């Protein structure tokens, strides 16, 4: 569904993403993990059109969309959420979702009906008429997802929607993400919370210092020495193995 080929982003002297290639299979939940500053959000920004890559290509359903503006990608069916949530603070929750829903429904009545439905589904029912500024962190994260979902996407890019939530809130939202996928929306997510990545994702890509260093099912990737070293520093994998060896 989404294919990224040799994507590179250079900010002056800093190489944020270096020749990264990956693909997201249709109907999958695919994860992108990596230590802080690895370039995950930069890669997302290039996939959704908010940043122009220095080199490389982005393909969506086989078509090259590397130079397309974000709103055109949204029309094609790519929706994204923002790690730093961006609610339309002055509007009500329903109106927030409606902006997304207007993409496929030009009529106000249909749009509002669709927004209400999606809001309720994401557990925002009681807050629909309240200003978005009054939502809690968890509420704002849900609103990000609701708005993106209202555009009726084929591919949903979720940038750390679980960050800042407490364990109970995470438990509530995980089945929701899976349900969205079961309805046919492909999901590509950045996440730090490993428990969530392990339970949700079928395939995980690991990005470290701008480069993809591992791909595979989550349990395999987590055992990969290269991945452990990327998180914990050089030599960490060997030390971990040594520490576990006597016990075994």
- Interface with another protein (CB under 8 A): 48, 50, 69-71, 74-75, 79-80, 82, 86-91, 95, 98-100, 102-103, 106, 108, 111, 147-148, 150-151
Helix extents (H) in the chain: 40-48, 70-76, 93-101, 108-121, 137-150, 167-182, 194-200, 218-223, 225-232, 236-244
CB atoms within 10 A of CB 119: 27
Q: Which of 55, 124, 114 is nearest to 92 (CA)?
A: 124
Q: Compute the least distance from the CB of residue 177 to another protein, in Å.
A: 18
Nearer to another protein, 108 or 178 (CB): 108
Q: Compute the least distance from the CB of residue 107 to another protein, in Å.
A: 8
Q: Compute the least distance from the CB of residue 202 to another protein, in Å.
A: 25
Nearer to another protein, 83 or 199 (CB): 83
State the Cα–Cα distance between residues 37 and 143, nearest whole angstrom: 26
Q: Compute the least distance from the CB of residue 54 to another protein, in Å.
A: 20
171-175 contacts at long range (C-beta below 8 A, 24 or more positions apart): 172/123, 173/141, 173/142, 174/199, 174/200
Q: Compute the least distance from the CB of residue 17 to another protein, in Å.
A: 20
State the Cα–Cα distance between residues 20 and 35, nearest whole angstrom: 16
Nearer to another protein, 88 or 231 (CB): 88
Coil, strand, or helix at residue 121? Answer: helix
Nearer to another protein, 94 or 230 (CB): 94
Q: Which of 28, 64, 61 is nearest to 49 (CA)?
A: 64
Q: Compute the least distance from the CB of residue 133 to another protein, in Å.
A: 10
Q: Compute the least distance from the CB of residue 108 to another protein, in Å.
A: 6
Nearer to another protein, 121 or 209 (CB): 121
Nearer to another protein, 84 or 243 (CB): 84
Nearer to another protein, 98 or 165 (CB): 98
Provide the strand spans (E) within 66-190.
78-80, 155-159, 186-190
| Backbone conformation region of residue 14, classed left if phi is above 0, alpha if psi is from -120 to 50, else beta | beta
């Amino acid at each position: 569904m989404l294919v990224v080929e040799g994507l590179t982003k250079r900010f002056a002297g800093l190489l944020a993403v270096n020749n990264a290639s990956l693909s997201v299979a249709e109907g999958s939940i695919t994860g992108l993990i990596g230590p802080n500053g690895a370039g995950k959000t930069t890669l997302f920004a290039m996939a959704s059109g908010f940043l122009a890559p220095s080199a490389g290509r982005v393909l969506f359903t086989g078509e090259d969309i590397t130079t397309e503006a974000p709103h055109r990608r949204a029309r094609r069916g790519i929706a994204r959420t923002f790690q730093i949530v961006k609610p339309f603070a002055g509007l009500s929750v329903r109106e927030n979702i409606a902006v997304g829903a207007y993409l496929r429904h030009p009529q106000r009545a249909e749009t509002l009906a669709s927004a209400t439905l999606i809001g309720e589904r994401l557990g925002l029912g009681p807050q629909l008429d309240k200003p978005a500024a009054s939502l809690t962190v968890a509420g704002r994260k849900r609103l990000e997802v609701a708005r993106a979902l209202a555009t009726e996407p084929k591919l949903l890019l979720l940038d750390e929607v679980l960050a800042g939530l407490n364990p109970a809130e995470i438990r509530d939202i995980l089945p929701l993400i899976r349900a969205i996928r079961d309805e046919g929306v492909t999901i590509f997510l950045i996440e730090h919370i490993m428990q969530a990545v392990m339970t949700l994702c079928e395939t995980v890509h690991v990005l470290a210092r701008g480069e993809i260093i591992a791909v595979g099912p989550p349990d395999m990737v987590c055992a990969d020495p290269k991945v452990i070293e990327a998180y914990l520093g050089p030599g960490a994998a060997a030390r971990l193995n040594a520490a576990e060896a006597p016990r075994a």
